[in-house]
Amino acid sequence: MELEEILLERSSLKRKTLIANEMESDFSNTPERLAELYGEYAKLRADLLEQQTQLSKYIQVKYKSGCSGLEITKWHETTTQMHPASEVLNDLRNRVKGPLMTQAWLKFYEILSNIPELILSVDLTADRFTTLHLCEAPGAFISALMSYWANEHSERTDFPDWYAATLNPHHEESDPGAVIRVDTLILEFPDRWVFGTDNTGNIFNFGSLASLKGKQFHLVTADGGVDCSADPEFQEQNSADLKAAEYKGICYKLKPKGNALLKLFCCCHESTLKILESAASSFRKVELVKPASSKAGNSELYLVMMGYFGRMAPLENTVGFLENNFSTISQGLKAFDCLKCITSHIAQIPN
C-alpha cells in the first residue's frame, strides 16, 4: 500500500446557510423524506459493517475459535498486525520519551500535525492557550499536546493551561468496565482533573463540569468511548447519548472562535447526523477525519470543528443538509478503504 493512501483523510461538511438550494429543500423537509434519507445513510453504514464482519469471520476461521463470539483479543491482534501504521508507534517509543505514548497519543499528535489551525487559528497575543479534555483518562491526548507544543511552539515559554474530565477511577461506584484504571496523570496533577459535584466524573450527571464555572477554553476535545465489544455493530447507536453529552459539553465550554475535536463511531446513524448538522451550523469549518494511525478495523472518526460561533445550533436534521452532505460523508467513509483492501485480499486466500 502506498503511503499517500493511508495519510489522514479529511472531508469538509457544508453548513446550512451555504447550501445552495436550501429554500427548495425546506419545502421537501417532510418526515417521509427524512426517513428515506436516514435509510440511504444506513446503507452506507451497512457497507462498512459488511467489511468488518468479513474480517471477523476470517479471524474466527484462522484461529479456529470454537466459541460463537469472536475472541476480542484475536480481533485486536489481527487488526493491529494488518494495520499499515502499526510499526509507527513502536518506532516512536524507541525514539521519543514521554508519558502515555499510546495509540491515542499518536492519533492526537497526527491530527495536530495535519491540522495546525487547531492551535494557530487562536489569537494568543494576550492569552495563554487553554484546553479542556472531556472523557480523557488516562490522558494521552494531554501528553501528545504537550509534546506537540514543545516541538512546534518552542518560541513560547508557557505551556497550555489544561483541565480534564473523565469517569473517576477512584470512585467506589464506578463501573469497573467503564473506567480506565491507569491513573498516573490523575495522581500527578489532581488539581487539573474535575469529577463534578458528585465526584463520579460522569459527563451525564448534572454538575459534572461545575468546578469550571466561569471558565471557557480555546480548544476542547472529547474522546469518550463505551465498551461495545459485545455488540460492535451497534457501537454508533449505543454511544449516541455519550456523543450528544460530549458535544453539548464542547459547546458549553468553548470560547467563541474556539476549536474542538469529537470522536465519533461511523457517522450514518440519525443521532450522529444530528450532531454533524448542528456542528456545521455552529462552527465556521467542520471536517471529518480518519487519522492514518487509527485502525481501519474500528469505525472511529474524528469531527474537527473550527471557529465556534458562540451558540450551539439545535440537534436536528433537515433534508437540505442530509442531501447536500451525502457524498461528503460517504467520502469520509472512504477512509475505511484500507479495510476493504484487507477483506478483498482475504477473499482471495484459499480456505
Ligand X SMILES: C[S@@+](CC[C@H](N)C(=O)[O-])C[C@H]1O[C@@H](n2cnc3c(N)ncnc32)[C@H](O)[C@@H]1O
To ligand X, the closest distance from the beta carbon of 102 in angstroms equals 6
Torsional sign, CA 150, 152, 156, 160: negative
To ligand X, the closest distance from the beta carbon of 142 in angstroms equals 7
Q: Determine if 178 is a binding residue for ligand X (CB under 6 A).
A: yes
- 263 is annotated as an active-site residue: yes
To ligand X, the closest distance from the beta carbon of 134 in angstroms equals 7
Which of positions 182-211 make contact with ligand X (CB under 6 A)?
A: 201-204
Write the interaction track for ligand X spanning residues 223-242; mark x where CB under 6 A is met and - where it is not. xxxx---------------x
Q: Determine if 346 is a binding residue for ligand X (CB under 6 A).
A: no
Among 140, 194, 209, 261, binds ligand X (CB under 6 A): 140
Measured from the CB atom, the residue of 60 and 166 that comes closer to ligand X is 166
Count the neighbouring beta carbons within 10 Å of the beta carbon of residue 86. 14
Measured from the CB atom, the residue of 226 and 244 that comes closer to ligand X is 226
Q: Determine if 110 is a binding residue for ligand X (CB under 6 A).
A: no
SS3 for 305?
strand
DSSP 192-235: GEE--TTSS--TTSTTTTGGGTT--EEEEEE------TTSGGGH
Among 41, 58, 75, 141, binds ligand X (CB under 6 A): 141
Query: How many residues contact ligand X, by CB under 6 A?
Result: 22
Binding residues for S-adenosyl-L-methionine: 139, 223
φ and ψ at 21, to 5 degrees?
A: -95, 40
DSSP 263-284: EEE-S-SHHHHHHHHHHHHHEE
CA distance 223 to 146: 17
To ligand X, the closest distance from the beta carbon of 324 in angstroms equals 32
CA distance 157 to 8: 30
To ligand X, the closest distance from the beta carbon of 205 in angstroms equals 8
SS3 for 132?
strand
What order do you get walking across the sheet with 300-308 strand by strand? 9-13, 283-290, 300-308, 254-265, 217-222, 130-134, 161-165, 193-194
Catalytic residue among 107, 243, 253, 263: 263
Point out which residues bind ligand X (CB under 6 A).
104, 135-141, 166-167, 178-180, 201-204, 223-226, 242
Instruction: Give the active site residues.
Output: 263
